[in-house]
Amino acid sequence: MNRTIFITGATSGFGQACARKFAAGGDHLIITGRRKDRLEALKQELEDRSGIQVMPLVFDVQDRSAVFAAVATLPEAWRRVDILINNAGLALGRDFFEEASLEDWDTMIDTNVKGLLYVSKAVLPLMIPVGNAHIINLGSVAGKEVYEKGNAYCGSKFAVDAISRSMRIDLLRHGIKVTAIHPGAAETEFSNVRFKGDESQAKKIYEGYTPLSAEDVADVIHYCASLPPHVCINDLVLTCTAQADAIYFYKKS
Ligand SMILES: NC(=O)C1=CN([C@@H]2O[C@H](COP(=O)(O)OP(=O)(O)OC[C@H]3O[C@@H](n4cnc5c(N)ncnc54)[C@H](OP(=O)(O)O)[C@@H]3O)[C@@H](O)[C@H]2O)C=CC1
Ligand SMILES: N[C@@H](C=O)C(=O)O
């Protein structure tokens, strides 16, 4: 399938796994993140292995002007986007409300919510003319149920849930599908980022059970993106079997 897929957060985790999955299926990629070295390495890997074309764009999704400027640099051949995967995001800290950092809250809201809005707004003009484009937003089980010390992270993912529902209504007239994907715990760089490099705390999150992998999530995203034009998966929660919901895990002692 020679589509063009625009993936944010392609330097790690779900985004990187999606890039590999879609490249293997023959799709061309626009891959984005702040770490240019990782984007360049992924471009090299995928162009060598899959023979597809890859366009890296380096920008911080929190920076509105940088988002629009980066999209504006796309040459004519890249000014058609079939699928946008709004994946860039993070959690910072896991603290009680009164102890949490305002800076962490700002970053989560600016990245997970405003960043998704900015990128979608900037890329939509390249999607509307396609007639049957698709937006896939990364929410979380944290956007379906709240948990202790989840505060702003849960809030940001509830916002992604609501934005996805609203997008779906507004964009229907352009034939654009909107799918929200809500994973449970997956072992990526996510917890290292959340716990600010505290490897032991990050590792503890995944002890006693088998979490999702980035590839598990990418497989599901690719399936959602490969359905016939008249079929849309609107909202999908996926967890590892050991995780019953956002809070309950069955962990072998
Ligand atoms: N792992 C999990 O348990 C779950 C994760 N999620 C969500 O899935 C998404 C991907 O997470 P995951 O792959 O696990 O995490 P990773 O930390 O492995 O990857 C996060 C990606 O987002 C990018 N990113 C973060 N901040 C910015 C920014 N300001 N500007 C541009 N890119 C940014 C990073 O790129 P770079 O640093 O190079 O900019 C990186 O490529 C996130 O939205 C997360 O909230 C949802 C449910 C579960
Ligand atoms: N599901 C995880 C990531 O979003 C979490 O809620 O910590």
- Per residue in 127-182, pLDDT (tens digit) is 999 999 999 999 999 999 999 999 999 999 999 999 999 999 999 999 999 999 99
Residue 85 near residue 8 (C-beta atoms within 8 A): yes
120 alpha carbon – ligand 1 mean position (Å): 16
80 alpha carbon – ligand 1 mean position (Å): 24
> How many Cβ atoms are within 10 Å of 19's Cβ, its own excluded?
30
- State the average pLDDT over residues 203-217: 97
pLDDT for 66 beyond 70:
yes
12 alpha carbon – ligand 1 mean position (Å): 7
The confidence band for 1, taking pLDDT boundaries of 50, 70 and 90, is low
The confidence band for 253, taking pLDDT boundaries of 50, 70 and 90, is confident
For ligand 1, whether the C-beta of 220 sits within 6 Å is no
- State the average pLDDT over residues 18-43: 98
Nearest to 151 by CA among 142, 160, 138: 142
Mark whether 153 is an active-site residue: yes
For ligand 1, whether the C-beta of 236 sits within 6 Å is no
